[in-house]
Amino acid sequence: MKENPGHNGYSCANINHFSDYDIYLFKNGSHYRLYEKLGAHIYDTVDSTGMIIKGVHFSVWAPNAQSVSVAGDFNGWNIDANPMGPRWDESGIWEAFVPGLSKGCTYKFHIKSKISQQQTYRADPFAFFCETPPKTASIIWDTEYNWTDLPWMEKRHLRNRLDCPFSIYEFHAASWKRVADDFNRSLSYRELAQQLTAYIKDTGFTHVELMPVMEHPFYGSWGYQTTGYFAPTSRLGAPQDFMYLIDCLHNNDIGVILDWVPSHFPNDMHALAMFDGTELYEHKDPKKGFHPDWKSLIFNYGRREVRQFLISSALFWLDKYHADGLRIDAVASMLYLDYSRKEGQWIPNKFGGRENLEAIEFLKELNTAVYKNYGDVQTFAEESTAWPAVTKPVYAGGLGFGIKWNMGWMHDSLQYFQKDPVYRKFHHNELTFTFWYAFFENFILPLSHDEVVYGKKSLLEKMPGDNWQKFANLRLLLAYMYGFPGKKLLFMGNEIGQHEEWHHEASIDWGLLENSENAGVKKLVSDLNIIYRTEKALHANDFMPESFEWLDFGDSSQSTLFFSRRHEKTTGEEKYKSTIVVACNFTPSPRYKYRIGVPEPGVWKEILNSDAEIYGGSGHGNFGKVKAAKVPSHSKPYSISITLPPLAVIYLKKQTRI
């Protein structure tokens, strides 16, 4: 090996950090754990006298650099003290070993471009820890942690399958709860571990989804302008503190999904942009490499080193942080070359189309790698168009995601609910249309952060009517969502009926829980989570059309909907079929003696009523049960006569042995 001179004469010759196989994989675009090689790694090596030398091996991919050095607090940020040398194998990787360094030292790479002669200090793209913004240096760190979540990890395949309940609480870690008497600071990862875990247990969600925790310089981006693809933000603590948070959640049987952003990155000059004086990570042509909406840069998915960088990042969070899933942000912006561009502002693909063929292949490669390594996790696509086969396996021609956000359901449902009930009968199709494509993909129903910001109002304040009707409509929406086919996602604050929009500088208004109406919404969500998790009819066959049946979708004049969710257990000693009728009244007028056809005789138990007094409702209902009569209705041999409460949903359950 050609020696690369290091600090005080030490070189990389005694360190076999990169094997020939590593370089082979890297050059062929199939090294999916580059974080184990590139970046800063604490090492022990032996000098020519046999003496053990402790230090750090640095390496960085910068193929168009004329010179690279590592500068930091350990050498007074002297760019001449620790030069790095290029590897002999034309990989474009520069490396050096610096003895005497240890965990906690700050550093950057100083890169001089041989193309532009530009000289810049760069944060390490593979850093495990970063200085707290606005500082931008990388920190030498490790990923060692004594995990205690083995019981969760061993049983994850039983809790994270597509036939399992997914009731996801989406939250922003830095604003979920603030400490008002301590300068309104955020909770640390370790404080969140105690307080968030207790809250999720109390409310009954199965998973949490963190908005991006990867390091980002602009706090107001909410994490969606990532610069540290291998580092949790240091605003809330060290990497091991974040591991502790996930460990605590797992030890309380709560899954963890991380929001992850491979769709674009910011143009901050300390990070990936023009990294070695050239467009290394982004496309050179702004028609492909610049995002007009977000003023950010778009990854060059056709470059194998870029694909490896991103897939290594995805696997890193699964490997080192035990994440149970990844939510892939802004997939639609990746799939279309003309996304948010006018005519003449985009470049067609080689077939003349608008599909981004390189991004499509990247997403397939990403999902293949994730599921090959972790068959017990899920990937979630935030994809806002009707792109086909998003959740079909790659071998079947799909993109290979596990679950897709149902943006159509969200849009149509919120559009409907914002209308005065007097006019809802003219918009009945906004509810019923979504059922016709409910099984085209493996859908999750998202009431996410995007719907409660930028003047859109909170969920509660979207609702029409006086204060009572607003809360009734919110309870109606939540109960309707939990009855509708698909997994569930609810953004923080929605579960307590917060009045104000979410703002990243403000905590959820926890004081609202002193009000009976807000406490009632929280109680409803908790009970919905219990029912959803317990009743397999509501989750086990979410993606199968046979789990759903219309009972009546045509009564637009009274703005009512009736459908059933079904599950059959045909194995084991106890065989049964379970049916839950979901009855919805989208007006403030109670419906008495309303007859609806049901498939079976006997007693139907009212297991949920969103108008119950305990939730802040008026208390209309069916005294806990109704009995089916042999009176045909809605093409069924039996029917029930029920009271439909105002602006409410009721669930009626019948379970029989088979």
DSSP state of 132: P
Q: What is d(CA 219, CA 235) in angstroms, rounded to the nearest whole number?
A: 10
Token duo for residue 614: 């305990």
How far is 560 from 47, CA to CA, in rounded Å? 80
Pick the catalytic residue from 329, 412, 451, 611. 329
Helices assigned H by DSSP within 382-442? 407-417, 429-432
The C-alpha atoms of residue 650 and residue 626 are separated, in whole angstroms, by 12
Q: Which helix (H) or strand (E) is 153 found in, with range?
A: helix 150-159
Q: How far apart are CA 498 and CA 451, in angstroms?
A: 13
Which run of H or of E encompasses 484? none
Handedness of CA 509, 515, 517, 520 (dihedral sign): positive
* Residue among 465, 646, 657 nearest 560 (CA): 646
Beta-carbon contacts of residue 349 (< 8 Å; ≥ 6 apart): 337, 355, 356, 357
Q: Which residues are CB-neighbours of 375 under 8 A, at least 6 positions away? A: 157
Q: How far apart are CA 477 and CA 647, in angstroms?
A: 9
Please provide the DSSP assignment of 243-282 as one string: HHHHHHHHHTT-EEEEEE--S-B---TTTTTTTTSS-SSB
Q: Which of 407, 458, 397, 462 is CA-nearest to residue 434?
A: 407
Catalytic residue among 279, 382, 441, 552: 382
d(CA 162, CA 481): 18
- The residues, ordered by sequence, that sit 6+ positions from 376 with a Cβ below 8 Å of its Cβ are 156, 157, 160, 161, 324
Rounded to 5 degrees, what are φ and ψ at 378?
-130, 145
Report the b/e string of 401-437 with b at 16+ CB within 10 A: bbbbbbbbbbebbbebbeeebeebbeebebbeebbee
72 touches 106 (CB < 8 A): yes
Beta-strand ranges (E) seen in 382-466 are 403-405, 443-447
- Taking only Cα atoms into account, the Rg of the chain, rounded to an integer number of angstroms, comes to 28
382 labelled catalytic: yes
509 is known as an active-site residue:
no
Residue 526 token pair: 């908790």
The answer to whether the Cα torsion of 258, 42, 112, 26 is positive or negative is: negative
Which letter, b or e, does each residue of 582-612 get, where b requires 16 or more Cβ atoms within 10 Å of its Cβ? bbbbbbbebbeebebbbbebeebebbbbbbb
How is residue 10 written in tokens? 């030490």
Report strand pairing: 138-139 vs 106-113.
antiparallel
Query: Hey, which residues are catalytic here?
Result: 329, 382
